[in-house]
Chain A
Amino acid sequence: MRLRIDYYASLREQRGLDSEELETGPIDLRGLYATLAERHGFGLRETQVRPAVNHAFCAWDRGLADGDRVVFLPPVAGG
């Protein structure tokens, strides 16, 4: 399936991209984050990021489908 990953804040800096498209086999959010974190040396563990799919917060066990847009949000610091 084809996924779009958008990056923000420290992960954007570490990835060096705002956004990318990936072609993958079946994968879940945990597997996706683990793969990206290892490949690009992300400094945030899974417990430190929060997933969002198609512009909505979601649980880690939400399934992924072709065309989904994924963000792994670093710890927020607004306000």
Chain B
Amino acid sequence: MSTVAPLSFRLTMEPLPASPPSSAPARAGAMVTFEGLVRDHNQGRPVVGLDYSAYLRLAQSEGERILQEAIARFTLVRADCVHRLGPLVVGDVAVKVWSFAEHRREAFAGCAYIIDQVKARVPIWKRETYLDGEQRWVACHDHEVSGC
């Protein structure tokens, strides 16, 4: 079976779209969607907002690489990811993943792989603003208890 499948990785300052960038391939029997949301707390501190920034060129190439890996590893028929940059408030959607596969097991697993790898590898940074006004750069390695 070919491991070549369409994919898209996009960074945008705009609110994320409700629908995936492309209609489901006819071979797909399952589409799994993940939305990463800005929540109101981090490590016990109340968060009011955050700001995402990126090394754009490397984020783009690494994001595409992750989608290619997911397609190959989980025999996805399509994979898309959009990540928002700039200022966001609690409740905003920060990132979306759509994974398409013939069957749901691969679609779920592929979606999970994509978001896990995006969080671990893509050069995007988050600056959180807390209720008391303090701002702090967040690092994955901070999240030893809650995980990334």
Q: Which of A's residues lie within 8 Å of B, judged by CB?
A: 6, 8-10, 13, 48, 52, 55-57, 71, 73-79
Contact sample, A vs B, 7 pairs, CB 8 Å cutoff: A8-B55, A8-B123, A10-B125, A13-B137, A76-B120, A79-B115, A79-B124
The segment out of B12-20, B24-32, B103-111, B138-146 that lies at the interface is: B138-146
Given that A8-B123, A9-B53, A9-B125 are contacting pairs, would A79 and B58 also be in contact in the complex, using a CB cutoff of 8 Å? Answer: no
Per-position binary interface string of chain B over residues 53-71, scored 1 when its CB falls under 8 Å from any chain A CB and 0 otherwise? 1110111011000000000
Majority secondary structure, A binding face: mixed
B95 touches A79 (CB 8 A): yes
Task: Report the 10 A-B pairs with minimum CB-CB distance, sorted nearest first.
Answer: A78-B124, A79-B119, A75-B139, A9-B125, A77-B126, A77-B138, A10-B137, A79-B118, A78-B122, A55-B57
Interface residues in B, total, Cβ within 8 A:
30
- Which chain B residues lie closer than 8 Å to A9 at the CB level? 53, 125, 127, 137
- The contact of A78 among B61, B83, B127, B137, by CB within 8 Å, is B83
User: Footprint of A on B, CB under 8 Å?
Assistant: 36, 52-55, 57-59, 61-62, 83, 94-95, 115, 118-127, 137-141, 148
Q: Which of B36, B127, B141 contacts A79 (CB 8 A)?
A: B36
